[in-house]
Amino acid sequence: MSTRILLIEDEHSVASVIRKALMEDQYEVSLAMDAASAWDHISRWSYDLFILDVMLPGGNGMDLCRKIRKEGIHTPVLMLTALGSVDNIVMGLDAGADDYLTKPFKIAELLARVRSLLRRASAATPGSIAYTSRVNVLVFSDITLNLDEKNAQRVGRVIELTATEFRLLEYLMKNPRKVLSRMDILEKVWGYDFNLNTKTVDVYINYLRKKLEEADGSRVIHTVVGMGYILKEE
């Protein structure tokens, strides 16, 4: 079965180049050029990946991404935008995007991002891994992370995490008492293979720290100046 991608992009020239490159890589590509037609595609057919521009006629790409997630659709979203500040990247990720690519970009980088997202989605698909009846839980100090039920607790208090925060905590808990560089975290949590702005990691570390400290008061994620972050007891 061929991989189906919905490209949501209103600039004809950009859409044409992206669609051509994807089809040459043997993907089946549908095109929507505004928010309304995009939602019509999404509600009617099943796709393996959405490539979504932020600025769209008749709606905002971030709002559309939020709607996709609100409807319980877990299809990976690669967001495209000319707005490349850290704040805009964080807004896109918070809206539910899995990856974020700033215009202008190289087609080779776009295709690499597409492959990375599809690999991640495939690895997470039920049936692609062996399931057991044993609950899959990570424990560090007074923090528990249930990988099956996708929830986190500290001293018995449930911690509400976004999907990105959950992946970040999972990576930290799988590598306790080990200094992890920002680039390591970007690659493992976001799947980035490129030299992107590592401030995104700092922003999410701060989000996660605040939620963990609200539950207990003590800090377990520590900064190692010039090197990265480490999960350890105070």
Domain boundaries along the sequence of the chain: 4-123, 137-231
| Rounded Cα gap, residues 42 and 5, in angstroms | 11
| Rounded Cα gap, residues 94 and 137, in angstroms | 25
Report yes or no: 170 and 137 within 8 Å, Cβ to Cβ.
no
Mind listing the pLDDT tens digit for each residue in 206-215? 999 999 988 7
| Rounded Cα gap, residues 1 and 118, in angstroms | 14
Classify 102 as helix, strand or coil: strand
User: Which are the contacts of 72, defined by CB distance < 8 A and separation ≥ 6?
Assistant: none
- CATH code, residues 4-123: 3.40.50.2300
User: % helix / strand / coil in the chain, to the nearest 5?
Assistant: 40, 20, 35
Average pLDDT (187-195) is: 70
Same fold, 4-123 and 137-231: no
The percentage of residues in the chain with a pLDDT greater than 90, rounded to a whole number, is: 38
Between 57 and 124, the higher pLDDT residue: 57
Asked whether the bond before 104 is cis by omega within 30 degrees of 0, the reply is yes
Query: Which ranges constitute the DSSP H helices of 60-162?
Result: 61-70, 86-94, 107-123
CATH topology of domain 137-231: Arc Repressor Mutant, subunit A (1.10.10)
User: Model pTM greater than 0.85?
Assistant: no
pLDDT at 168 over 90: yes
Backbone angles phi, psi at 221, to 5 degrees: -100, 115
Query: What pLDDT, on a 0 to 100 scale, did the predictor assign at position 72?
Result: 82
Instruction: Give me the long-range contacts of 55-58 (CB less than 8 A, separation at least 24).
Output: 55/10, 55/81, 55/82, 56/8, 56/10, 57/10, 57/33, 58/34
